Structure formats: C-alpha cells, structure tokens
Structure 1
C-alpha cells in the first residue's frame, strides 16, 4: 500500500501532534506516523501522568499536616500505591483519547507502526497494516528521546528504574537512590519522599538542579533536606550490584571517600538519548551527539526534511517541542505558497522551565551568574514569600521570587522562583520577556491582591530599592 501527502510527521509527541494539527489547519494534507501511543512520552509516560502522581503526593502531604490548618482527621493517613498509579494511568489514557479525537477532528491520517526514512520525502511504515510506503512534499521528524542508561547498570525495571518504571512501580521502595538531580530526578525524589520512602539523591555537580539560579538550588536543597531527603552533591555512583533483594551502591562523596550503601531500588535520571538511530537519518542530516542539527525554523540539510523536539538541540521540554511544531508547520506552508503565514524563529532565551517538586521551582532567561558572565551590569531583586499575605494564609510562606535586570536599559534578563504555584506564575515573566518589557512597565503593572503573584511585583521593586513589604 502507498499514499502521498503534503506533510508526514514522524512521531506523535507534543511536538509531532501539534505540528500535524497546525499543518492541517493550514489546509495541508497531513499524516502522522506513531509506533506506540498517540501523544508520545510526555502525555503517556512523562509530563502529565507524573503530575498526577505528584498531585496525589501533595494531597497526602496536606492530609498528614492537617493540624497546621486547624483540622483534625481521624485515623492514619496513608497512601494506596496501586490506586495512586491507577489514577495516574487513567489521566494518561484520557489524554491519549483526546489526541486521537484531535487527529480525527483535523482529518489527519494516522499510520500506526515503525517509520523508517527512505529519503528526505519518503518513508516506509511497518505496523498493523503490514508495510506501507508513504511519500510527502515535506517530512517532519519528531522522534523524541529516551532515558540514558548507566553503562555499568542498565535499567531492568525491577531494581534499577528509569522514569518510566518509576511511574508504574511494582512495589513501594523502602529505600530509594535517585541518581541525578535534574527535573526528573528531583520530581521523583519529592514524590517518593512524600509517599514515606527513605530517599537519597546523588548529584555529580556541586549543587542540585544545576541549570537553575544558585539561590534556587540552595533554597531547594535546604527545603528537601528538611523534609528528610539526603542530598549528596559533588558525588558519583561508582558501581551498582543488583540482586533480587536490592541494590548495593558504591558512592564516592565530594571528599573522595567511597562508601557502600544498600537500597531497595534505584532511579537513574542522568539525561536523555535522542531517538535518531535506525530511522534512516544517517545520510540525510547532520548530527551532534545524536541530535539532529536544524536551522531556527526546523530545516535540516536535506530539502523537504525537517526536525523538531527532543531529537534536536535543547532545552528538551514539551512546550519547546510544541512551539517548534507550530513554527515548522507554518514555515512549510509558506514554502508551499501560503502567503498568509509568517513564521517566527524560536527564541530559546524565552523558554520557561518548571520542576514540580515540593516546593515547585520555575524560571526563564538568564541566571544572575550567567548574566554576569555575559557582561551585563545588573539590578537584582528578591522578595520572600514570608512577606506575602496570600502565601502566609495558604500556609506556604517558604519561597521567593528573584528578578535580574540590565542596569543600563532596564531589560528583564531573567526570573527565578521557588515556592507554591510558581509553575503557574512564571508565565507572567515569560510574556514580559517576549514583549521585551522593562522594569518600568512591570513596576506600573497592577497585580491583583491577595495573590502570591504580588511577590513578582515586589521582586521588581526590590531590584530598584522600592520594595514595599520587606
């Protein structure tokens, strides 16, 4: 069987399915190829179901601290792991069905199977319909990425887990080792700690969440340590000895001392590997460490072949992939003669990052250290949640907002937050950066009261010595 399209999208994650929808909206005959589940890793095994797990852990935390709010709950509050996981999988299933509906609504043809490029504008799909040969005027590669294994102890799903195993655990870990303190590692450390598991985090660099501002890293480490998580920075796992009963880990600490500690389970969260092998890409694109090199619109070196999302240079975030999907779809439509679309290249400096641990962290733009390295003279403001009425009323007075400005122009260079609901608030600063706002416009913006977002306003005022509530 063979078929021809204007656009074929290889992969249906948050980059792929959004690109397909935008192509269809622009009147292009579009198909999508998916080997597993519509929605990709993010929707089925990543962003969304992990937030469902973390929500359950958050509710458990509040229930166990009900007395802090003047409430009494009779009996012991404990987690039902099977029910927690079942709820998370139900959320993923609902959203998977939603993407399926969107494909039908937008008249996008879905080919389920493994796609392999035979040229820049042709591929074969081996799947439920046997082998299909497809051609298109343009192909978008959106094959995503997978978890990186430890070379000396690959994940087995029993004792050594990736994020995917950690989302559907066969049993509750008693003593958990998390290797890596990026967003995935810290989120699972926070989840299992709230679920009453003994958690240790090992990070090779000198601080956790190392891409964040140093003030955020230090605050988060202190908070997680207070919650009972053991944090080891400047440390590395030298070896893992896996047995049916658990895992013995040799860990070298920051002073060079090696100790052997037993854990029931290990989560490996040391980065990702792009899914670019065995796709037929080798002669069609340029790669760097497996990541497809693209121009700001998603073009590869082969005419008609494009790439987006986690198989391209970072940051490796779902919202970055979706944005790239729209940009690339519009660039293709323009090449095919649509004069009404005006694609804009992605500005990586305006991509927010969010980590849903407890407390949450969120950021956009340059850290204070990176801004100094770039040669800026800075104005830096910081406002603690303890000065915010809504945060105190919620019982969430731990946290702060930090803003970094160019002292010469007033340009907002970066914003960094830690505390309750900051993943919802960061978008205010993202919009501001996208609109190239200055401190004057932010100072003159009216923030609603009482909200935690008032801390955003106060942090701007603090940068210029005008904070009102500290």
Structure 2
C-alpha cells in the first residue's frame, strides 16, 4: 500500500526543502524526494562550494600581493587537493544541516529517483526497489543539470562540466572556459588566481550577459587586468581532444577562425 501524504516535494534544493519545511510548519504531513544529496545542486555542487573555492583563491591572491599591504609572505604555494577538500567539507556541513532540519520538522525523506505516475501519485526508485507514494499536493522542484555541447562531450579528463571543475583531477595549465555566465566566470576567476592561463569565450557581445551592461563592462576590464583573455562575440566551432590536451577552433567577431591549444576545457 502506498504511503499517503498531504504534501510531497520532488527535489530538495533551496526551493524544495524550504517548501517542505513550510508545509510541515503549517501542519501538513510532508515528504521530500531526492535522488542524490539533500540541499540540491546549489548547496552541494553550485553556489556554496564554489564560494569556498573562490575564498581560498582570494586569500592566495592576497598572500601573493602581501607587499602591497606592507606585509611580507614568502614562498607562497597552493595545495589544490586541500583547497578542494575544504570546499567539499563546507558543502557536507550544510548538507548535514538540511538533514537535521528534515528530522526537526518531522519530514519523511525518500532517497531515490522520483517519477510522477498519475494524479497525486509518485514512485521512488532506489537500488531497484520501488516505493509508491500518494499525496493531495505535489510540488515539483527538480532544478537543472549540466548540458553537453554537441561537439564538446564532457569526459571528466580534458572536457569538464562544473562538477569536474569543482573536484578537478589535476590543475589546468591552460584553460578554456566556454560561456561567461556566473558559473563560467566563477571558475575562470578561481583557476586564474590559482595560476592557470585562462581564456573565456562568450557568443554574446559581453561577459555575464544577463547582468547590466555597466556591470559587464566593469567586470571584463577587471578580469583582463587579472590576466585573463576574454573573447566576446566569439564561438567555439570545434574541439579536438587528445590524451595531452585540447585543440580548439575559435571563430572571432570578424568571422575568422583561429586554433589554440589548451590543457582543459570547462563547458
């Protein structure tokens, strides 16, 4: 017999888990369904751990420029593995906090792949076992996922999604970032501060194109001052991946195609 609830929330990101808590506070018998980690992408693989990476990079940058502040710091080095470990620890701590909130508010947590099977019906599959749930109300809060470009399939070795970039197998020497939205610029900034040679390619006419034009202009100027190569109005036509790197064909504003070698690519 299916478990019955007043409210089921599919997805436990910042939208989903907050909705579940509010439902429980209002007296509804509530459940939440999550296939991976409570807290969703933002908490575990997005906003929060990237800020932890950026904070480490910021401190590293300040230490390298200690002299500008009348301070002395010599032989400054960065341990990429330790930086990533700290970032994952921050995410884990917050994930545990969401787990505690579910228990505190008496919300049932069903881990597994959720699928709507009919009006007020939802199945959860975990390790081949299917649990049937029913509810008067269902909130869908499933968020988003990374999408491969047709010519740039992520392999986790040379071509990375944001997840690979957050737990890198090695430090890039020369990095190509395709796309200059918030995520792309965060990783470009992080790896630039950590010592990589970074090129950002954006199809539209300015970086962070969903922001105000004034912000885009100011940010592009700052990124270039930090040593990044920024190509706007440009696109990547082709990537040739080898064991040692990636050759990219980049079409510029003028329509001319040039090729460049990179160690890694973030899509």
TM-score (norm 1): 0.56
* Paired residue secondary structure (1:28): coil
* Paired residue secondary structure (2:81): helix
Counterpart of 1:148 in structure 2 is 147
Give runs of aligned pairs for residues 271-310 of structure 1, distance below 5 A.
Answer: none
Distance 2:127 2:259 in 1: 48
Q: CA deviation at 1:129?
A: 8.4
* Paired residue secondary structure (2:43): helix
Q: CA deviation at 1:192?
A: 0.5
Counterpart of 2:219 in structure 1 is 220
Residue 52 of structure 1 pairs with residue 52 of structure 2 = yes
Q: CA deviation at 1:128?
A: 5.2
Gaps of 5+ in 2: none
Counterpart of 1:290 in structure 2 is none
Distance 1:216 1:125 in 2: 44
1:246 and 1:264 in contact (8 A); partners too = yes
Counterpart of 1:13 in structure 2 is 13
Distance 1:129 1:20, change over 3 A: farther
Distance 1:77 1:39 in 2: 35
Distance 1:113 1:178 in 2: 33
* Paired residue secondary structure (1:248): strand
* Paired residue secondary structure (2:6): strand
Counterpart of 2:26 in structure 1 is 26
Give runs of aligned pairs for residues 379-398 of structure 1, distance below 5 A.
Answer: none
Counterpart of 1:158 in structure 2 is 157
User: How many residues in Structure 1 have an aligned counterpart in Structure 2?
Assistant: 267
* Paired residue secondary structure (1:150): coil
Deviations 1:143-200 (A, max 9, x none): 1111121111211111111111100000000000000011001111000000010000
Counterpart of 2:61 in structure 1 is 61
Counterpart of 1:125 in structure 2 is 124
- Structure 1 runs (4+) deviating above 4 angstroms are none
1:248 and 1:262 in contact (8 A); partners too = yes
* Paired residue secondary structure (1:171): coil
Counterpart of 1:181 in structure 2 is 180
Answer 1 or 2: higher relative contact order, Cα 8 Å, separation at least 6. Answer: 2
Counterpart of 2:246 in structure 1 is 247
Gaps of 5+ in 1: 269-470
Deviations 1:197-253 (A, max 9, x none): 000000011111111222211111111111100000110000001111111000001
TM-score (norm 2): 0.98
Deviations 1:109-144 (A, max 9, x none): 001111111113111111158211100000001111
Give runs of aligned pairs for residues 308-323 of structure 1, distance below 5 A.
Answer: none
**Looking at CA atoms only, which structure, 1 or 2, has the larger radius of gyration?**
1
Distance 2:41 2:245 in 1: 28
Counterpart of 1:77 in structure 2 is 76
Counterpart of 1:206 in structure 2 is 205
Distance 1:40 1:181 in 2: 23
Counterpart of 2:39 in structure 1 is 39
Distance 1:129 1:136 in 2: 23
CA root-mean-square deviation: 1.0
1:50 and 1:88 in contact (8 A); partners too = yes
Distance 1:139 1:120 in 2: 9
